[in-house]
Amino acid sequence: MNDKTEEQGHGTNRRVRADARRNIDRLLHSAMTVFASSGVDAPVREIAEKAGVGIGTVYRHFPQRSDLVVGVFRHEVDACADAASVLATEHEPGEALARWMQRYVDFIAAKRGLAAALHSGDPAFDALPAYFQKRLRPALQGLLEAAAAAGKVRVGVDPGDLLRAVASLSTPTHDGDPTHARRMVALLVDGLRYGASVPGRKSKKRLNPRPHHSKLNAGRSMTGTGKNMSPGNKES
């Protein structure tokens, strides 16, 4: 095989891999949509049709339904985590943090479609909580540190506490509308701004502070200027 043929072969392999990756991404996105509307027990054929692939493609990549659920969960976690660096590049630190928190609300809503499977006790899902922490905690930590350094939020906010708080605030309404959750999370972010300051910046002190009235009187008494000068107490 000459160099030109080998180069063409590598180019073909890259295209095949890229096509395969797009198929998997489309499949996982479709599965997430179907799980959210029909539950994790939805027919695999429905997922394949929505993704525009054959049912054999689904089973080739995900032999068991649990494999598909794990794949969807990890895909959603990765998308949410990766959004942190994108937002940090496109927005100032405080705005990047606020936008990512809303993105995390979307993740919580998407994960809700997997709840029945994730809480089933199936050992196939045992590693997912650790994966969640491994990817999302550092993503949020970076945003918090950047925002604190810029004086947009207070220092010392624990990312784990914040992730749990948003999850609690994202309890779905009866119609599944996330508007209420978004408002609550926006208020939470506003609360992080209380006590924010740029590290290393010292507050300005008044150069000539006015002495307290009682201290002024005490000083006069010690110097004699505060004596009672009434007629009955004239100096001799």
The C-alpha atoms of residue 222 and residue 218 are separated, in whole angstroms, by 6
CB 188 within 8 Å of CB 169 = yes
The string of DSSP codes covering 102-148 is HHHHHHHHHHHTTHHHHTS--GGGTTHHHHHHHHHHHHHHHHHHHHH
pLDDT of residue 228: 45
Per the CB < 8 A criterion, the answer to whether 84 and 139 are in contact is: yes
Q: Is the pTM of this model over 0.85?
A: no
3-state SS class at 183: helix
Claim to verify: residue 130 and residue 57 sit in the same structural domain? no
Residues 92 and 184 in one domain: yes
Q: What is the pLDDT of residues 189-222, one digit of tens each?
A: 999 999 888 666 554 444 454 544 444 454 444 4
235 domain residue, yes or no: no
Q: How many domains does the chain have?
A: 2
Nearest to 149 by CA among 214, 88, 223: 88
Q: Please list the ranges in the chain whose pLDDT falls under 70.
A: 1-16, 174-176, 198-236
For residues 168 and 90, membership in a common domain is answered with yes
What is the predicted pLDDT for the residue at 177? 76
Do 89 and 183 sit in the same domain of this protein?
Answer: yes
Residue 157: Cβ within 10 Å count = 17
Q: Are residues 91 and 151 in the same domain?
A: yes
Instruction: Residue 52: give its domain's CATH number.
Output: 1.10.10.60
Burial 115-128 (b: 16+ CB within 10 A, else e): eebbeeeeeebeeb
**Per residue in 130-161, pLDDT tens?**
999 999 999 999 999 999 999 999 999 999 99
User: Do residues 76 and 170 both lie within one domain?
Assistant: yes
| Locus of tokens 């939470």 | 188
Alpha-carbon distance of 53 to 62, in angstroms, equals 13
Phi, psi of 126 (to 5 degrees): -60, -30
Q: What local confidence, expressed as pLDDT, does residue 21 receive?
A: 81
In a domain, 214, yes or no: no
Among 63, 87, 107, the domain boundary falls at 63
Same domain, 97 and 127: yes
- As a whole number of angstroms, the distance between CA 172 and CA 14 comes to 42
Looking at the structure, do residues 15 and 112 belong to the same domain, yes or no?
no
Please check whether residues 186 and 69 belong to one and the same domain. Answer: yes
Domain CATH code at residue 167: 1.10.357.10
Q: Which domain holds residue 70?
A: 64-197
Query: Do 72 and 161 fall within a single domain?
Result: yes
Q: How many helices (H) and strands (E) does the chain have?
A: 10, 0
Give the pLDDT of residue 195: 84
